[in-house]
Copies of this chain bind each other. A is one copy, B any other.
């Protein structure tokens, strides 16, 4: 991770000044506020603000259900009940704002989640730094042969070396041309007084998708959990999963009760279809059940047996 000294100083300054507030505070999250959590070779995630905590979820739920929630014992029980039964609106009452530095191909997956607010660094206005992602050798995976979307074994030997060299060379060459086309020195003076310099909004198009960008990204807790359930999943591309994993640790510090309920219900759980549930009941009753006549297609049958550990 490369934080500029300027950024590092800003973080220390921001952390130096404690203020008084009447708002709820999440102490474990305050411990890491503003600090960058390294992700990939040059990226990071850091929390720059937040609103609410586990108690805010409870408070909103109790407004909804009014006196009706008196019978719902304690706060933890209520949060677990809400998450289990997909009563999602109370979780929308907490909000968090991240500053993220990430490769553009990761940003393109990320932005598909529309229920968030974003301010991204603009390469129309400003010049991008010479920073691009290069996978660590252990993440340089072959195409999966079983799965169109997945990774197989790690590349080895000469092929790995050659791939890494190509990724680096393409990016270095593109950044070299980018800077030459812009024709602008750090102080704004032209590098070559005989050139006009290509518009920034055009020059950027030669940069690779591995180039790092950054943005402020703000989202509510419900939508964050939905994002994490998709992106911290084993089917997600490793590079975005690395960010999701870092954010999961943030959630743990911010709303520990919600985090635990999320682990218990959303992670490692499974959705059964009506037909799948019927098969489970027949199995529990001691019946011999096979795919034929089960109401499941061969593919669904394999998915269910795999889920039940009966392959």
CB within 8 Å of B: which residues of A? 14-15, 17-25, 30, 33-34, 48-52, 56, 59-61, 63-69, 71, 77, 80-81, 84, 89-90, 92-93, 95, 97, 99, 103-105, 107-108, 111-112, 114-115, 117-122, 124-127, 133, 135, 139-144, 148-153, 155, 159, 163, 166-167, 170-171, 173-174, 177, 180-182, 184, 194-202, 204-211, 214-216, 218, 220, 237, 263-265, 267-277, 280-281, 283-284, 297, 299-300, 307-310
Contact = CB atoms under 8 A, between A and B. Distances in A.
Majority SS at the chain A contact face: mixed
A137 to B, nearest CB: 12
Pick the most buried of A22, A71, A267, A283: most chain B CB atoms within 10 A of its CB.
A22
* Count of this chain's copies in the oligomeric assembly: 4
A34 to B, nearest CB: 7
B125 A118 contact: no
Contacts of A108: 104, 107-108, 111
21 contacts: A18-B22, A21-B23, A21-B25, A23-B30, A60-B216, A63-B120, A66-B126, A68-B149, A84-B273, A105-B205, A107-B108, A111-B112, A117-B220, A122-B149, A141-B198, A144-B199, A170-B170, A170-B174, A270-B271, A281-B308, A284-B284
Contact of A205 (B200, B208, B268, B274): B208
A119 B65 CA distance: 9
